[in-house]
Chain A
Amino acid sequence: DTEVTQTPKHLVMGMTNKKSLKCEQHMGHRAMYWYKQKAKKPPELMFVYSYEKLSINESVPSRFSPECPNSSLLNLHLHALQPEDSALYLCASSQDTGAEAFFGQGTRLTVV
């Protein structure tokens, strides 16, 4: 099973809303990632969790708040987003930070 599951698949939220994106994997991977992808552009790394600890924050604004409750789950909490935050948000996992990453299908986020 090489599946990374993301929910929801689509999300529309207002600039004053609070919402969360969820990511789950059951491959025993110990590294998990959030990427942001704009149309026709490559993904941009946002956060890396290694062994449930945040190891990298790529200078992401505080309106994005990651959380790793356990080794299988990764959340991204969203608050007071801007329209320019509209994008595809991809979650990925890998056995460790040196192995290949497997991606979920992403959440298409629209901020209105």
Chain B
Amino acid sequence: AQTVTQSQPEMSVQEAETVTLSCTYDTSESDYYLFWYKQPPSRQMILVIRQEAYKQQNATENRFSVNFQKAAKSFSLKISDSQLGDAAMYFCAYRRRWGSSNTGKLIFGQGTTLQVKP
């Protein structure tokens, strides 16, 4: 069974600085997706960034980038130039890509609460 682990329950960062959130996962699959979702107090889960396992290049979306290490099964999120609006709970998630039992199920980590200090 696939599992996702986020070992940092809480993190804090000063506004305008950089922070990295950690995520590791375990799977026997070779083809899958990894995601980072953000959930602010407004409750909506917002997709921040996605990475396809077959792509070696790390995904980037504006101030958000990932460090994807497939062999180490590591998928960290770097937030540059942190803003007050980045304060939220961040979830790392895994989804298998293909297969007869590809139900679309997202497997989430336990989440990391990010505080941004002004």
Which residues does A use to contact B, with CB under 8 Å? 31, 33, 40-43, 45, 48, 50, 55-56, 88, 90, 92, 94, 96-98, 100-106, 108
Contact = CB atoms under 8 A, between A and B. Distances in A.
Nearest to B97: A98
A94 B37 CA distance: 15
B68 interface: no
Contacts of A43: 45, 91, 106, 108
Interface of B: 33, 35, 37, 42-47, 50, 89, 91, 95, 97-98, 102-106, 108-111, 113
Contacts, number: 60
Contacts of B89: 40
A102 B104 CA distance: 12
A41 to B, nearest CB: 7
B26 to A, nearest CB: 16
A39 to B, nearest CB: 10
A48 B108 contact: no
A69 to B, nearest CB: 20
Nearest to B96: A98
B104 A101 contact: yes
B45 A103 contact: yes
B5 to A, nearest CB: 11
Nearest to A50: B104
Closest 10 CB pairs of A and B: A97-B104, A42-B108, A103-B45, A105-B44, A56-B103, A106-B43, A31-B104, A48-B103, A45-B105, A100-B50
A100 B33 contact: yes
Contacts of A106: 43-44
B42 A105 contact: yes
29 contacts: A31-B104, A40-B111, A40-B113, A42-B91, A42-B108, A42-B110, A42-B111, A43-B106, A43-B108, A48-B103, A50-B104, A90-B45, A92-B45, A94-B104, A96-B104, A97-B103, A97-B104, A98-B33, A98-B102, A98-B104, A100-B35, A102-B47, A103-B37, A104-B44, A105-B42, A105-B43, A105-B44, A106-B43, A108-B43
